[in-house]
Chain A
């Protein structure tokens, strides 16, 4: 048999595996393989190689999936919306507290001015000043507790 025919059969064999063959080429190859023991043997060997390639087993470390799942959940918690939100809340609260400390003398003067001009009792002024200091932290604490509840809910869900 012509050597070129064997060469062509080998090329078509590879092509059938990589890209698939057009019907005309496929029937030519079938006929050639039926008539040529060496090419047929080559085809069987190739097919065996590919079957073995498909079947190459690899042992995955036993707990790799579980470790990955745990790591993913931890990462997801770190970057959850609630966790991100609480960072900003703490930052704003700290800034607010610093502003409160530095503005306290001015606020006290403001309350004194109110007392002097409108005759507000001193007890009421002192109570107002205490409220000025306590209401913002109480609000912040409320928001933080709410955020923590959201985080806990999110963690339970995950």
Chain B
């Protein structure tokens, strides 16, 4: 029998580089406290792709994602002193963005944003409406990974979110728990269910 093409990939281990980032995050915290404009410019440049993607996949609405992108950075400016440098900056950033998405969803119904709170209380696998899907499809590359992208759109936002944070942003379980303000056990449970949901969606898409 031939050797499998698959190689086991260890789950991301943020603790491995945590020690090396302490100085950087402390410097970042100091800069944010001082509202250093050059630092903020650099951070916006550096995180624009990741933050916008996160917001877009949560809201499914490019215009709203843009608004929330700007609001997130305004919050970073105004609440920079609350970042203590003990966690990764992106965890703090995504937590701010997530809270803004939740606020926005309370103000008005966002079509693709299923309840981000407790998935068990909702009916899972409720696909987003076609309009949202088509907007997202326009924004993502059509060349590669189209099946995955389409399948992502079919799974609920609370699964999409953890999958993106874990496998795209490569955040650790505890960092994701921090972003979502939920226990690590909930994060794990959503990851397992999300992976299963994604596979199911892909299988259904292939048929």
Binding site for B on A (CB under 8 A): 14, 16-21, 26, 29-30, 33-35, 37, 40, 43-47, 49-50, 52-61, 64-65, 67-69, 71-73, 75-76, 79, 158
Contacts and interface: CB of A to CB of B under 8 A. Distances in A.
Contact of B9 (A35, A47, A65, A73): A47
Interface string B134-162: 00000111001101110010000000000
13 contacts: A16-B8, A16-B9, A17-B9, A19-B11, A19-B188, A20-B13, A55-B144, A56-B148, A60-B49, A60-B53, A64-B48, A73-B37, A75-B78
Contacts of B139: 58-59
B191 A56 contact: no
Contact of A18 (B11, B73, B199): B11
B148 A65 contact: no
A34 B4 contact: yes
A18 B188 contact: yes
B40 interface: yes
Contact of B44 (A37, A45, A53, A68): A68
Contacts of A67: 70
Contact of A76 (B35, B45, B144): B35
Interface string B48-91: 11001100110000100010011001100110000000000000
Interface size class of B (residues with CB under 8 A): 35 or more
Contacts of B4: 33-34, 40, 43-44
Interface string B30-45: 0000010100110011
A136 to B, nearest CB: 34
A69 B147 CA distance: 35
Contacts of A79: 78
Nearest to B3: A34
A60 B40 contact: no
Contacts of A53: 145, 148, 152, 163-164, 167-168, 198
B74 A16 contact: no
Given A47-B9, A65-B44, A75-B74, 8 more contacts: A14-B196, A18-B166, A19-B188, A20-B10, A56-B53, A60-B53, A65-B45, A68-B48
A14 B69 CA distance: 32
Contacts of A37: 1
| 10 cross-chain pairs, A with B, having the tightest CB-CB distances, nearest first | A52-B145, A43-B6, A52-B148, A40-B4, A20-B11, A58-B53, A158-B37, A18-B191, A57-B141, A44-B6
A64 B5 CA distance: 41
B101 interface: no
A72 B78 CA distance: 10
Contacts of B48: 60, 64-65, 68
